[in-house]
A and B are shown apart, each in its own frame.
Chain A
Amino acid sequence: MENQSKPVRIAALGMEQRTYSTLQLFFHGHCKDDYVLVEEKSADISIIDMDGFQAYRMLEEHKKHYPNQPSILISLSDSEALDAVYVRKPIQLEALSSALSRAKEKLQQPFTITTPPAQVSNSVLGIPPVLENIVHHAQHVTAPVGKRTSGSKQFNQYRYSADSLSDDAELELLNIKSTARFNPHNPIQTAKFQYQPQQTLQGYFQQAYFTALKTQKNVVLKGPWRPITILYKSKQLRVEKNYRHLYALSGMFFEKSEVSITILDKSIDCEPTLHETVLSVEPFLWKLSIRTSRGCVPTDTNFTAPIKLVRWPNFTRTIVTPHALRIAALWAKQPTSLIDTATYLAIPLQYVFLFYNAAFSLNYVASEASTKSHPVAQQPSAKRHKYRKILQDLLERLRNN
């Protein structure tokens, strides 16, 4: 009976800070503290992100040292591995709850494998080098900003934090889906690269933002987060100072009943309080959509319809995704389909998807009515500039300085 009131100890391994924060919120709120995050060595159950660097190696090491510990593996892919419970990303609350229940059941079952005494001793008295890195990561993500310790290259791979990364590094860690085998004519393939943002924070935020623009009134978005006020005139949002944890919610779905959008009367004062800050909508939504989509595009996207640029993103204040300037310039000059864009610019399709999705979330791009594909290589407007070499040299120079 006593064990029932004691929280189950969970180790979160190989996770980004935002996923870690999401779990914290989930355990505290939804699960009413039935679960608590701890270090690996004192955990009852482990949750492992299988999309991280060296995830399989980490899993192997983990199983070697904690063979009886039930594991929940979270991943973007469908594959099953080992004797583990799988939860597919984006994580849905019900799926995670169910996985935790199953892992708890496993925990209560008698062990079928006996751990050799030497291994038990090692795991208790000294953590193997690889696991040491993971444990540091777990400590890092819970520690206040600025309390980082230096470590090996391997250590750095696990201790990433969205707050401290440059834009480039952040992109690398987003596990953007590879489009190497993408076939736009295969519906099963295309479905894998599409997502539905409607029931994510991104979707609700978009709805609130466009409501504010349409009604020309400020709007409050409420849900399992602190209220977000959208200021229509300046296209800004008023949000709690520690707003970065909102990005951690990007992979979660929320029921409509959990969320509300309220249009404010013009007389209501929207000045930020001491605990709030004001941000521009564009960089916030841009980043949120990148994190939510992870390289996918919204459902119903036509991969072969020409896309035109309605306006350029404010690239001096938003994340410049790979090849974003080139894609934007091409679409401003010549509406081009997603597929043709990748071909013409000779870039991976995933970068086209990444830019398109972020720009689409803000209505910065529009699909042309025609569904015919336009081979841009034949379009005179996309021809080679007479001073291309000079422009290329200048570009190189600007990049190097």
Chain B
Amino acid sequence: MTNYKIIFTGPVGAGKTTAISSISDQSPVSTDKIATDMTRNVKKTTTVACDYGTVRLNGKDRLHLYGTPGQQRFDFMWDILTNGGIGLVLLLDNTRPDPFQDMEFFLGQFSDFINQTQIAIGITQMDLNSTPCLDDYYKHLHKLALTPPIFEVDARKRHDVTLLIKALLFSLDPGLAENHD
């Protein structure tokens, strides 16, 4: 049996746990604990180790979905989690005070991993806060010479999360066959 990984990262409250839940074969293993720090202003519980879900593939192969904890103090986990990963999903919360700063922070933290693989970015909470819009994110990314897929995402919707992952897969290999995407 061979194991492959996709990593979900992003700031606290961006929807990493929810996104993994929406596509995992089984209820994901979560390490959510009651938030006692500043996170409690955002949500009641927060991930302290990682979230984990799986998608069974053909044969015995399995895809593992790992969600990193959002707080920066757990960043020692990030290198461990990305080891052997095939791609990165970055979720950003559009209601945060400075989502561009969040984006640049995570792109910097995972730059080596992104250079070796690919990244797809999902912007959540756009229904609550329509600005900045996706064009604004691209403007920031063009400074970094990056053109990753950036989609508006509702992490609760499987359709949205699935499309984001599909875009990640085609970014890794546009030659993948699909009758109709």
Contact = CB atoms under 8 A, between A and B. Distances in A.
Given A384-B173, A396-B58, A397-B58, 14 more contacts: A233-B131, A309-B147, A311-B147, A315-B163, A325-B166, A325-B170, A325-B178, A326-B181, A332-B148, A345-B175, A387-B4, A394-B165, A397-B55, A401-B162
A325 B133 CA distance: 21
Given A312-B151, A390-B57, A333 B174 contact: yes
A315 B167 contact: yes
A191 interface: no
Contacts of A168: 180
A85 interface: no
A-B pairs, top 5 by smallest CB distance, nearest first, are A385-B173, A329-B170, A330-B174, A393-B57, A329-B174
16 contacts: A234-B130, A310-B138, A311-B150, A322-B180, A322-B181, A325-B166, A329-B171, A330-B174, A332-B149, A333-B171, A384-B173, A391-B86, A394-B55, A396-B58, A398-B23, A398-B166
B29 interface: no
Contacts of A233: 131
Contacts of B165: 394, 398
Interface stretch (B43-51, B68-76, B107-115, B152-160): B152-160
B144 interface: no
Most chain B CB neighbours (cut-off 10 Å) among A234, A316, A322, A330:
A316
Most chain A CB neighbours (cut-off 10 Å) among B4, B147, B150, B174:
B174
A390 B4 CA distance: 8
Interface string B65-102: 00000000000000000000010000000000000000
Contacts of B164: 316
Contacts of A147: none
Contacts of A311: 134-135, 138, 147, 150
A328 interface: yes
Interface residues of A, number: 43
Nearest to A236: B130
A22 to B, nearest CB: 29
A14 to B, nearest CB: 26
A267 interface: no
Contacts of B181: 320, 322-326
Interface of B: 2, 4, 23, 55-58, 61, 63, 86, 130-131, 133-135, 138, 147-154, 158-160, 162-167, 169-178, 180-181
Contacts of A344: 174-175
Interface string A151-187: 0000000000000000010000000000000000000
A143 to B, nearest CB: 30
Contact of B174 (A316, A382, A395, A401): A382
Given A325-B166, A394-B169, A315 B57 contact: no
Contact of A392 (B159, B163, B176): B176
A401 B86 CA distance: 21
Contacts of A312: 147-151, 167
B72 to A, nearest CB: 28
Contact of B147 (A236, A324, A326, A332): A332
A309 B148 CA distance: 10
Nearest to B178: A395
A322 B180 CA distance: 5
A385 B63 contact: no
Interface in A345-401: 345, 382, 384-385, 387-388, 390-399, 401
A32 interface: no
A339 to B, nearest CB: 16
Interface string A8-42: 00000000000000000000000000000000000
A235 B135 contact: yes
A391 B180 contact: no
Contacts of A323: 178, 180-181
B159 to A, nearest CB: 7
> Helix, strand, loop or mixed for chain B's interface?
mixed
Contacts of B135: 235, 311
Most chain A CB neighbours (cut-off 10 Å) among B153, B154, B166:
B166
Contacts of B180: 168, 322-323
A382 B175 CA distance: 8
A146 to B, nearest CB: 25
A314 interface: yes
A317 interface: yes
A316 B159 contact: yes
A393 B58 contact: yes
Given A309-B147, A323-B181, A326-B181, A397 B134 contact: no
A345 B151 contact: no
Nearest to B172: A385
A317 B163 CA distance: 10
Contact of B167 (A236, A322, A329): A329
A398 to B, nearest CB: 5
A327 B149 CA distance: 12
A333 B117 CA distance: 12
A310 B147 contact: yes
A316 B150 contact: no
Interface string A64-76: 0000000000000
